[in-house]
Amino acid sequence: MRHSTTALLALLASTVSAAVSDWQQCGGSNWSGETACDSNSGCVKINDYYSQCQPGAAPAPAPKPSSTLSTIPSTPTTTSPLASTVGPGRTLQSGYYWIRAVAAPNFHKYMQTSPIYTTGPALLGASPTAGQFQVVDGQLVQLISSPGAPTKLLYANVSDKRVINDMSLAVTFSETKNTYGVFKWGGDDLQWSVEGVQRPNRSAWLCGSDDSLL
């Protein structure tokens, strides 16, 4: 039997680009920041402790991932993996946000689904496959339509069935609206609440061993 391990995290709504600017650090030993360079740059290894985004450079070889998620590369690349996929892509669309974990060990992982832009469990993953989100009338929505196309959304649904020691609720994205609880922004974080469930920190979430959000 596989036992789930969890990690406490907070979510940050950010309008800052997930790509690293030219001549800035993009990797190295113990580096926990962004690793994806702008589209015309590559992450160049200077030494074991420092890699740098350089314009016109070829991408650095991707390290072997510690775990594999179905159909999604587990390491960022300098060219977007979304180029052939229907959806908003890596350019943040007006009115939407990336949602990022800000607590170890999930620092700088982003909310998304797997495969991208499809229904299924809410996950934390690499920045190139980050979803784009907004809160509308208490619903957390994910934009899945391409720029210029009619708006198409998925809705974050919170299950009322408790899991993991009867202390957690699963979150999945669906074409139907959520009926359990209300989402809202709490300044620069994402919050969820429902009558009858006490949460000391409404912006604290759990990340399971499979990167699922609870």
Tens digits of per-residue pLDDT, 156-197?
A: 999 998 877 667 889 999 999 999 999 998 878 888 999 988
pLDDT in tens, 63-111: 444 333 333 333 333 333 443 457 998 888 999 998 888 777 887 889 9
pLDDT at 11 over 80: no
Would you tell me how many other CB atoms lie within 10 Å of the CB of residue 87? Answer: 20
pLDDT above 90: residue 208: no
**Could you tell me the pLDDT band of residue 50, with boundaries at 50, 70 and 90?**
confident
pLDDT digits (tens, 9 = 90+) for 134-167: 999 999 999 999 999 999 999 999 999 887 766 7
User: What is the C-alpha radius of gyration for the chain, rounded to an integer number of angstroms?
Assistant: 17
**Secondary structure (DSSP) of 87-137:** S-TTSPPTT-BEEEE-STTSTT-EEE-SSTTSSEE-EEE-GGG---EEEET
- What's the pLDDT score for residue 138? 96
Task: Output the pTM of the full model.
Answer: 0.64
Query: Which amino acid, 165?
Result: N
d(CA 214, CA 142): 17
The proportion of the chain whose per-residue pLDDT surpasses 90, expressed as a percent, equals 30
Q: Which residues contact 149 (CB under 8 A, 6 or more apart)?
A: none
